[in-house]
């Protein structure tokens, strides 16, 4: 189809053809076209089918607010045809139909709509109960539109961008641009966000004169000025999603062809925000107002002026504002047939525009609106009705340009916390109050003249800068405003629509005027109730189109004052954003120890455990039999670098250790470690480790891997009211740790250090400083796995080399690495507790049999958890930690299996259970009701997958299971 | 046996043109294909880093150098970058990465191996930083050099900002264990913008301008 010629406002390049496919047929458009404009230019009016009734839908606003133009583009469902530019080779398909787009078999739903009254889903099928179970599946299957191809690699590159600015302006129209220029003049940094690809807002498609210059030219003039200012960052193609506390603005940007991302998530921290988002056209509600060929006035105007596409052959208008009159005149001046303009207002028409329309022989019917149209996929004729008398006239047309006037777009302000109220003088819902440092400007304030809109933006920009302390007075200009006469359109619907069973209030959810009345009759007369009951504004359009109409219509139906019917709070995101963009780039950020390469070389199977990647086991055997055996009989080596390590020093360091750890802290012995346990205020176990005095008022202590990151905060929190002088340094990453364990571990280490490692010189729980091949290291004799063992902590950069040296030194003893699983089994045989594995939120120090660590009644240090222990000491019926062996070695209960008594009584659970080579049967530890904690008690386990009456039986036994006297540990 | 060899927490994926042994580390001085006009990233993890804490005894000097008076401020003192992380906590980084004697003062703790440190500079480096951190490094009120503390790639760290010859140089300091995944992510983010691994010489030239 030949395009109209309007070079001043055109966005397309007719010298560059673009070929794409739609519904598997080839089409052409021009560079700059959106999918919707290219299809419309090619005569395709129906773009999708509606959600519930499967009615044909076409383009409506060109801003893609609703689901009516959601299509699948290059396998990506729910892409907005109105805002997606065509590219060569693009493949687009319609959504939500069965059969073909033009003959949708599910269109039968439209005929059956009388069966689906308001609240249909809430009221039907719930009784009898069995019915609901049958229908829930089919109902859910019909919900939603589009389908992702899970096997397709979408290859979408997404980015995150974090920005800070003094003033953030949302909306790149005339008010937004003047606001940006004004704020930037004061020296403030400015970010200007615009959803379209070019600045200019509603100037962009208009040729009307603003101060003697065509609006589009004035817009470009302002854009040139804005882009030339170094402290203004323009983000076009960017959709603001919400304004949050502290004026944080979230948005996303669609990448241009030369940009390396498909979409970019943006967070902006700003000092002030100016909302200059302009106005929305309120949809006019009338019978069959959703048919392809019905469109808003700006849509028709933009189609012709920016894309050179004729909206139709016989165009009728039913609108309620002066911009629509301007659009009608502009279309006629391009040679298009505008048959008439119905204007729902009695007065307030721009006299110049009326004169122009008269010259163009376009009749203007004041106080009229369209009440019904006929036609299925195209419009055949329309009925116009006098709002006062009800007199009707039929007009033959194929395109219906409509609106019920305009309203301020306050959605972003709503997310910022602004409350809106109805302004009868403007016919707008406008902000009643604004959050601190949030301003709004432009058309949304009710201005129609370009001069006023620009002045409004300019002063808002200065206000925004002034709020941040920038000097603005020298930039203030006297406000020279043009007089404006407001005569707003106050209706939301045509008066003569009958029951309105096909008068759509919400296109997304196929909610009609009739269902809205039914909702009110059911008592859902408030917007927040009606919205949910009738499903108005719950679709992907986020209430953009039906939002303000809902309140106006409810006011009219109930006869109650509009102030009681403010629009519901807008839910973010204002603009739909795909989840992959919101999730951000797929960068897995985790920690590895300095031994990572050594471990991988040795056949480690790594697993992500919290923030670390750690070795689960080596080789092919997840049960780790050989790893366990080698430690018990020979010597093993493992990576313990993830343990928390801290230095604490200063005159009050000991006091804070005394506060945090439940152990007595008065008996630090030189060269010896102290096992320490930290509790929370409930007396429950939080963490454990070892501590040692390494100098005057200077201590080194370790924590579990999981607690390391929280340790400093925990110390500071529990000493926050004390004026203690201590300093604490996290050495977790600084010191790497290697543990060698097993009867031959001493022989291996003796080859590398020159200190006496004999039992007397370096006993169990000893700590010594030693030099290993020129590197200072801490050697600790600890025995988590129950064998003669040494932990070597040294600067992380030397750890990899040390590992190689130890492997070489241990070669003659057949040293082998062992991982987390082997360590888990080895320590379980010693009944050593892992906090979080053998403990839970209800379990305190005494319950797990670790009362030996408690310093006893608190005498002033106010140990964290001590008071709770004192209370718990005399309590009965608490869970107790016990050891057990499974009666039948062939049965193997899992961690977490419950302990039951009788049929229903759950009296505990298994904490850990593994197979012990030493015992030759499954064994473990469990938390169990005190009454069954005695040696010889019989336990019955039940776990997932078992028959309801089946049990696994076990017997409570003494612990430790291995080396009960600790002879090997202390060897 | 030889002394234990020191190993850096990560390596940059580029072909090495020139390297030297320093402090028992292998330090890359230059990579092949370094680009003159693109943003660059240099591994400074070998640089000596010290933590100095003086809670209860406020100090104005340490190791003979003035301490910044306000948290977030930093000073370049000879070859050291001294930064105030809090009212009584300071970081010392020997930014030229030479071998230095550690001070006797017990309030210093050597954390050289505890932190990875990467420098990023060149054209467009500030734009890249906006994709790595939500900290306000472009605040016009910041007096450089300075240190910001907060999330980088959603992980807590320190961002030191220097300014040399009108260009900002960013030093990213995070826990050593994060080095590999962070460098992988930064290079991935920077690849479309021409971010190239560079040797120590590139950084030395930039800071000694």
What pLDDT does residue A115 have? Answer: 81
Q: Is the minimum CB–CB distance between A201 and chain B shorter than 8 Å?
A: no
Residues A604 and A685 in one domain: no
> DSSP secondary structure string, A419-457?
EEEEETTTTEEEEEE--TTEEE-GGGGT--SHHHHHHHH
d(CA A248, CA A244): 5
- CA closest to A165 among chain B residues: B139
Lowest mean pLDDT among A82-91, A332-341, A428-437: A428-437
Q: Work out whether strand A263-275 and strand A158-170 pair parallel, antiparallel, or are unpaired.
A: parallel
d(CA A931, CA B128): 63
- Is B56 a residue whose pLDDT tops 90? no
Lowest mean pLDDT among A71-75, A581-585, A762-766, B201-205: A581-585
- Is B1 a residue whose pLDDT tops 70? no
- Is A480 a residue whose pLDDT tops 80? no
What pLDDT does residue A365 have? Answer: 96
Residues A324-347: tens digit of each pLDDT: 999 999 999 999 999 999 999 988
Q: Is residue B178 part of a domain?
A: yes
Residues A745 and A607 in one domain: yes
Q: Is the minimum CB–CB distance between A248 and chain B shorter than 8 Å?
A: no
Residues A618-645: tens digit of each pLDDT: 999 999 999 999 999 999 999 999 999 9
Q: Is the minimum CB–CB distance between A801 and chain B shorter than 8 Å?
A: yes
Q: Is the minimum CB–CB distance between A485 and chain B shorter than 8 Å?
A: no
Q: Do A773 and B178 make contact, defined as CB atoms within 8 angstroms?
A: no
CB within 8 Å of A903: residues ≥ 6 apart = none
Name which of A587, A590, A650 is nearest B55 (Cβ-Cβ).
A650
Residues A184 and A197 in one domain: yes
> Which residues does residue B163 pair with via DSSP β-bridges, in sequence order?
B168
| Cβ pairs A/B, distance under 8 A | 139
Q: Do A592 and B181 make contact, defined as CB atoms within 8 angstroms?
A: yes
Residues A819 and A878 in one domain: no
Residues A399 and A310 in one domain: yes
| Alpha-carbon distance B183 to nearest alpha carbon in chain A (angstroms) | 10
Q: Is residue B6 part of a domain?
A: no
DSSP A792: E
- In this prediction, residue A569 has a pLDDT band, given cuts at 50, 70 and 90, of confident
> B110, B133, B156 — which closes off a domain?
B110
Residues B127 and B181 in one domain: yes
| Alpha-carbon distance A726 to nearest alpha carbon in chain B (angstroms) | 6
CATH of the domain at A926: 2.40.30.110
Name which of B8, B111, B136 is nearest A734 (Cβ-Cβ).
B111
What pLDDT does residue A564 have? Answer: 64
Average pLDDT over residues A344-371: 95
Residues B134 and B182 in one domain: yes
Q: Is residue B8 part of a domain?
A: no
Asked if B120 and B105 count as a contact pair (C-beta separation under 8 A), the reply is no
> A106, A123, A142 — which closes off a domain?
A106
- Number of domains forming the structure of chain B: 2
CB < 8 Å from B in window 728-767 of A: 728-736
Residues A741 and A663 in one domain: no
- CA closest to B53 among chain A residues: A727
d(CA B168, CA B174): 19
Residues B41 and B95 in one domain: no
- The H or E element spanning position A552 is helix A547-558
Q: Do A590 and B181 make contact, defined as CB atoms within 8 angstroms?
A: yes
- In this prediction, residue B130 has a pLDDT band, given cuts at 50, 70 and 90, of very high
Q: Is residue A295 part of a domain?
A: yes
What pLDDT does residue A718 have? Answer: 97
Residues of B within 8 A of A591 (CB-CB) are 175, 177-178, 181
CB < 8 Å from B in window 561-600 of A: 585, 587-594, 596
Q: Is the minimum CB–CB distance between A802 and chain B shorter than 8 Å?
A: yes
Name which of B4, B138, B188 is nearest A774 (Cβ-Cβ).
B4
Residues B121 and B168 in one domain: yes
Residues A163-212: tens digit of each pLDDT: 999 999 999 999 999 999 999 999 999 999 999 999 999 999 999 999 89
Helix (H, G, I), strand (E, B) or coil at A613: strand
Residues of A within 8 A of B155 (CB-CB) are 589
Q: Do A796 and B134 make contact, defined as CB atoms within 8 angstroms?
A: no
Q: Do A592 and B180 make contact, defined as CB atoms within 8 angstroms?
A: yes
Residues A613 and A750 in one domain: yes
CATH of the domain at A697: 3.30.70.1400
Residues of A within 8 A of B27 (CB-CB) are none
Q: Do A591 and B181 make contact, defined as CB atoms within 8 angstroms?
A: yes
> A376, A403, A430 — which closes off a domain?
A403
Q: Is residue A722 part of a domain?
A: yes
Average pLDDT over all residues of chain A: 93
Residue to substitute from B113, B174, B179, interface A, most A β-carbons within 10 A: B113
Burial class (CB in 10 A: 0-12, 13-18, 19+), B8: buried
Q: Is residue A9 part of a domain?
A: no
- In this prediction, residue B121 has a pLDDT band, given cuts at 50, 70 and 90, of very high
Residue to substitute from A162, A257, A778, A805, interface B, most B β-carbons within 10 A: A162
At residue A399's C-alpha, the angle toward residues A393 and A401, to 5°, is: 85
CB < 8 Å from B in window 672-701 of A: 695, 698
> Which residues does residue B168 pair with via DSSP β-bridges, in sequence order?
B163
Residues A385-407: tens digit of each pLDDT: 999 899 999 999 999 999 999 99
Burial class (CB in 10 A: 0-12, 13-18, 19+), B165: exposed
Token pair 């030297």 in the structure block, residue: B20
Residues A416 and A522 in one domain: no
| A832 closest CA partner among A688, A673, A640, A633 | A688
* Token duo for residue B176: 């050593």
Q: Is residue B59 part of a domain?
A: yes
CB < 8 Å from B in window 276-295 of A: none
Q: Is residue B22 part of a domain?
A: yes
Q: Is residue B5 part of a domain?
A: no
Q: How far is CA A165 from CA A100, A271, A354, in A?
A: 50, 7, 45
Residues B78 and B127 in one domain: no
Q: Work out whether strand A48-49 and strand A816-817 pair parallel, antiparallel, or are unpaired.
A: unpaired
The question of ipTM being above 0.95 is answered as yes
CATH of the domain at A503: 1.10.10
Top mean pLDDT of A151-155, A410-414, A714-718 is at A714-718
d(CA A934, CA A613): 40
- In this prediction, residue A1 has a pLDDT band, given cuts at 50, 70 and 90, of low
Residues A275 and A191 in one domain: yes
What pLDDT does residue A129 have? Answer: 76
Q: Is residue A908 part of a domain?
A: yes
Residues B154 and B199 in one domain: yes
Residues of B within 8 A of A727 (CB-CB) are 53-55, 88-89, 107
Q: Do A725 and B106 make contact, defined as CB atoms within 8 angstroms?
A: no
Residues B53 and B120 in one domain: no
- Is A479 a residue whose pLDDT tops 70? no
- Number of domains forming the structure of chain A: 7
- CA closest to B26 among chain A residues: A797
Residue to substitute from B117, B134, B179, interface A, most A β-carbons within 10 A: B134
Strand ranges inside A237-288, DSSP E: 238-243, 248-254, 263-275, 279-281
Residues A449 and A557 in one domain: no
- The H or E element spanning position A655 is helix A653-660
| Alpha-carbon distance B137 to nearest alpha carbon in chain A (angstroms) | 8
Q: Do B185 and A164 make contact, defined as CB atoms within 8 angstroms?
A: no
Q: Is residue B83 part of a domain?
A: yes
Residues of A within 8 A of B89 (CB-CB) are 727
What pLDDT does residue A77 have? Answer: 92
Residues A332 and A195 in one domain: no
* Token duo for residue A83: 């805002």
Q: Is residue B7 part of a domain?
A: no
Residues B92 and B174 in one domain: no
Lowest mean pLDDT among A648-652, A801-805, B102-106, B136-140: B136-140
What pLDDT does residue A257 have? Answer: 83
- Is A934 a residue whose pLDDT tops 90? yes
Residues B200 and B123 in one domain: yes
What pLDDT does residue A856 have? Answer: 81
Burial class (CB in 10 A: 0-12, 13-18, 19+), B32: exposed
Residues B42 and B82 in one domain: no
> B110, B130, B150 — which closes off a domain?
B110
Average pLDDT over residues A554-576: 81
* Token duo for residue A727: 């300093």
- In this prediction, residue A9 has a pLDDT band, given cuts at 50, 70 and 90, of very high
Rg of chain B over all Cα atoms, to the nearest angstrom: 17
Residues A661-689: tens digit of each pLDDT: 999 988 889 899 999 999 999 999 999 99
CATH of the domain at A294: 3.50.50.60
A594 Rama class: left (phi>0) / alpha (psi -120 to 50) / beta: alpha
Name which of A585, A587, A647 is nearest B109 (Cβ-Cβ).
A647
Q: Is residue A848 part of a domain?
A: no
Q: Do B114 and A698 make contact, defined as CB atoms within 8 angstroms?
A: no
- Percentage of chain A beyond pLDDT 70 is 99
DSSP A924: E
- CA closest to B151 among chain A residues: A162
- CA closest to B133 among chain A residues: A162
Name which of A587, A650, A735 is nearest B56 (Cβ-Cβ).
A650
> B110, B135, B151 — which closes off a domain?
B110
Whole domain around residue A317: which residue ranges? 286-403
* Token duo for residue B31: 């990579």
Rg of chain A over all Cα atoms, to the nearest angstrom: 37
Q: Is the minimum CB–CB distance between A244 and chain B shorter than 8 Å?
A: no
- Is A562 a residue whose pLDDT tops 70? no
Residue to substitute from B39, B114, B148, B158, interface A, most A β-carbons within 10 A: B114
Whole domain around residue B105: which residue ranges? 49-110
Q: Is the minimum CB–CB distance between A161 and chain B shorter than 8 Å?
A: yes
Segments in A782-897 forming alpha helices (H):
799-809, 820-829, 866-872
Q: Do A589 and B114 make contact, defined as CB atoms within 8 angstroms?
A: no
Burial class (CB in 10 A: 0-12, 13-18, 19+), A278: buried
CATH of the domain at A68: 3.10.20.440
Average pLDDT over residues A700-708: 97
Asked if A847 and A667 count as a contact pair (C-beta separation under 8 A), the reply is no
Q: Is the minimum CB–CB distance between A269 and chain B shorter than 8 Å?
A: yes
Residues of B within 8 A of A269 (CB-CB) are 134, 136
Residues B35 and B105 in one domain: no
Name which of B4, B46, B107 is nearest A802 (Cβ-Cβ).
B4
Q: How far is CA A924 from CA A325, A566, A633, A886, A956, in A?
A: 83, 63, 22, 8, 10
Residues B162 and B177 in one domain: yes
Task: Please give the span between the terminal C-alpha atoms of chain A, in angstroms, as a whole number.
Answer: 94
Q: Check the CA dihedral A588-A594-A600-A604 and report its sign.
A: negative
Q: Do A267 and B134 make contact, defined as CB atoms within 8 angstroms?
A: yes
| A578 closest CA partner among A266, A263, A267 | A263
Q: Do A593 and B192 make contact, defined as CB atoms within 8 angstroms?
A: no
Residues A654 and A630 in one domain: no
């Amino acid at each position: 189809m030949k395009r109209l010629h309007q070079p001043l406002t055109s966005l397309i390049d007719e010298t560059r053809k673009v070929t794409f496919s739609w519904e598997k047929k080839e089409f052409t458009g021009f560079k700059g076209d959106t999918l919707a404009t290219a299809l419309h230019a090619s005569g395709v009016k129906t773009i999708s089918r509606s959600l519930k009734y499967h009615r044909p839908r076409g383009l409506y606003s060109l801003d893609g607010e609703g689901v009516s133009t959601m299509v699948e583009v290059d396998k990506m469902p729910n892409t907005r045809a109105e805002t997606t530019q065509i590219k060569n080779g693009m493949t687009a398909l319609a959504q939500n139909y069965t059969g073909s787009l033009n003959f949708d078999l599910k269109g039968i739903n439209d005929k059956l709509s009388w069966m689906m009254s308001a609240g249909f889903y809430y009221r039907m099928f719930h009784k009898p109960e069995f019915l609901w179970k049958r229908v829930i599946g089919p109902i859910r299957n019909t919900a939603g539109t589009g389908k992702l191809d899970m096997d397709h690699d979408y290859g979408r590159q997404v980015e995150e961008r974090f920005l800070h600015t003094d003033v953030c302006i949302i909306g790149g129209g005339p008010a937004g641009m003047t606001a940006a220029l004004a704020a930037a003049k004061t020296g403030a940094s400015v970010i200007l966000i615009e959803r379209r690809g070019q600045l200019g807002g509603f100037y962009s498609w208009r040729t009307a004169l603003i101060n003697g210059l065509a609006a589009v030219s004035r817009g470009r003039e302002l854009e040139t000025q804005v882009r030339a200012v170094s402290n203004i960052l323009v983000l076009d193609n960017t959709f603001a999603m919400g304004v949050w506390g502290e004026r944080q603005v979230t948005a996303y940007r669609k990448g241009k062809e030369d940009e390396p991302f498909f979409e970019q998530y943006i967070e902006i921290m700003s000092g002030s925000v100016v909302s200059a988002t302009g106005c929305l056209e309120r949809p006019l509600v009338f019978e069959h107002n959703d048919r392809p060929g019905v469109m808003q006035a700006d849509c028709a105007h933009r189609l012709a002026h920016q894309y050179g596409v004729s909206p139709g052959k016989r165009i009728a208008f039913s609108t309620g504002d002066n911009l629509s009159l301007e659009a009608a005149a502009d279309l006629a001046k391009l040679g298009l047939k505008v048959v008439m303009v119905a204007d729902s207002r009695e007065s307030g028409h721009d006299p110049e525009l009326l004169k122009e329309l008269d010259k163009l022989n376009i009749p203007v019917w004041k106080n009229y609106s369209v009440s019904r149209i006929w036609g299925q996929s195209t419009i055949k004729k329309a009925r116009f009705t006098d709002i006062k008398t009800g007199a009707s006239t039929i007009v033959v047309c194929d395109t219906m340009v409509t609106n019920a006037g305009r309203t301020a777009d306050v959605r972003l302000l709503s997310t910022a916390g602004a409350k809106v109220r109805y302004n009868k003088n403007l016919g707008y819902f406008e902000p009643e109050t604004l959050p601190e440092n949030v301003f709004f400007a432009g058309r949304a304030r009710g201005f129609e003249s370009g001069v006023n809109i620009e002045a409004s933006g300019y002063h808002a920009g200065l206000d925004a800068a002034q709020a941040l302390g920038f000097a603005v007075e020298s930039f203030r200009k006297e406000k020279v405003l043009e007089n404006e006469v407001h005569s707003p359109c106050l209706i939301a619907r045509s008066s003569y629509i009958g029951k309105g069973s096909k008068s759509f209030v919400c296109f997304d959810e196929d909610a009609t005027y009739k269902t809205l009345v039914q909702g009110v009759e059911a008592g859902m007369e408030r917007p927040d109730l009606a919205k949910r009951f009738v499903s108005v504004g719950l679709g992907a359009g986020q209430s953009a189109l039906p939002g303000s109409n809902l309140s106006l219509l409810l006011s009219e139906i109930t006869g109650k004052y509009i102030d009681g019917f403010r629009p519901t709070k807008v839910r973010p995101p204002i603009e739909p954003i795909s989840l992959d963009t919101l999730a951000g780039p797929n960068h897995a950020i985790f920690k590895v120890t300095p031994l990572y390469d050594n471990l991988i070389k040795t056949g480690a199977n790594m697993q992500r455990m919290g923030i670390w990647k750690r070795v689960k086991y080596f080789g092919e055997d997840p049960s780790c039999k050989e790893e366990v055996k080698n430690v018990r009989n020979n010597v093993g080596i493992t990576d313990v670098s993830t343990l928390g390590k801290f230095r604490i020093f200063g005159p009050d360091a000991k006091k804070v250790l005394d506060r945090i750890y439940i152990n007595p802290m008065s008996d630090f012995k030189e060269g010896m470690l102290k096992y320490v346990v930290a509790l929370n205020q409930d007396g429950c176990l939080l963490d454990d480790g070892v501590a040692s005095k390494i100098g005057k008022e200077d201590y080194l202590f370790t924590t579990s891997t999981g607690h390391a990151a929280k340790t400093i905060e925990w110390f500071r929190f529990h000493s926050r009211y004390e004026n203690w002088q201590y300093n604490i340094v996290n050495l977790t990453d600084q010191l790497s740790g290697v543990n060698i364990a097993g009867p031959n571990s001493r022989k291996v280490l003796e080859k590398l250090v020159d200190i006496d490692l004999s039992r007397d010189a370096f006993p169990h729980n000893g700590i010594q400083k030693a030099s290993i091949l020129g590197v200072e290291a801490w050697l600790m004799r600890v025995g988590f796995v129950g064998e003669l063992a040494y932990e070597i902590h040294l600067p992380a950069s030397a750890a990899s080399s040390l590992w190689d040296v130890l492997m070489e030194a241990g070669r003659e003893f057949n040293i082998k690495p062992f991982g987390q699983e082997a360590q888990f089994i080895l320590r379980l045989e010693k009944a050593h507790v892992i906090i979080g594995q053998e403990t839970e939120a209800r379990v305190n120090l005494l319950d797990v049999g670790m009362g030996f660590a408690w310093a006893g009644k608190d005498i002033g240090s106010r140990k964290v958890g001590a008071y709770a222990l004192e209370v718990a000491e005399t309590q009965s019926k608490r869970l107790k930690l016990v050891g057990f062996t499974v009666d039948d070695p062939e049965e193997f209960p899992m961690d977490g299996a419950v302990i039951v008594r009788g049929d229903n009584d759950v009296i505990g659970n298994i904490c850990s259970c593994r197979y012990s080579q030493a015992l030759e049967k499954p064994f473990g530890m469990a938390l169990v009701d005190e009454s069954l904690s005695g040696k010889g008690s019989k336990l019955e386990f039940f776990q997932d997958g078992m028959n309801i009456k089946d049990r696994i039986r076990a017997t409570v036994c003494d612990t430790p299971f291995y080396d009960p006297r600790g002879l090997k540990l202390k060897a | 046996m030889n002394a234990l060899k020191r190993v850096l927490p990560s390596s940059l994926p580029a072909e090495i043109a020139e390297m030297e042994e320093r402090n028992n580390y292998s330090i890359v001085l230059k990579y092949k294909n370094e680009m003159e006009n693109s943003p660059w990233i240099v591994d400074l993890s070998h640089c000596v880093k010290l933590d100095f804490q003086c809670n209860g005894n406020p100090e104005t000097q340490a190791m003979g150098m003035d301490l910044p008076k306000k948290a977030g401020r930093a000073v370049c003192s000879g070859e050291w970058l001294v930064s105030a992380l809090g009212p009584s906590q300071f970081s010392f980084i020997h930014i030229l990465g030479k071998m230095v004697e550690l001070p006797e003062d017990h309030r210093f703790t050597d954390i050289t191996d505890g932190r990875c440190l990467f420098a990023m500079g060149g054209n467009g480096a500030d734009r890249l930083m906006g994709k790595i951190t939500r900290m306000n490094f472009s605040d016009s009120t910041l007096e450089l050099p300075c240190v910001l503390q907060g999330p980088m790639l959603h992980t807590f760290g320190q961002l030191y900002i220097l300014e040399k010859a009108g260009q900002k140089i960013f030093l990213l300091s995070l826990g050593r264990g994060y080095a590999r995944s962070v460098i992988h992510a930064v290079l991935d983010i920077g690849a479309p913008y021409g971010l190239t691994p560079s040797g120590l010489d590139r950084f030395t030239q930039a800071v000694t301008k």
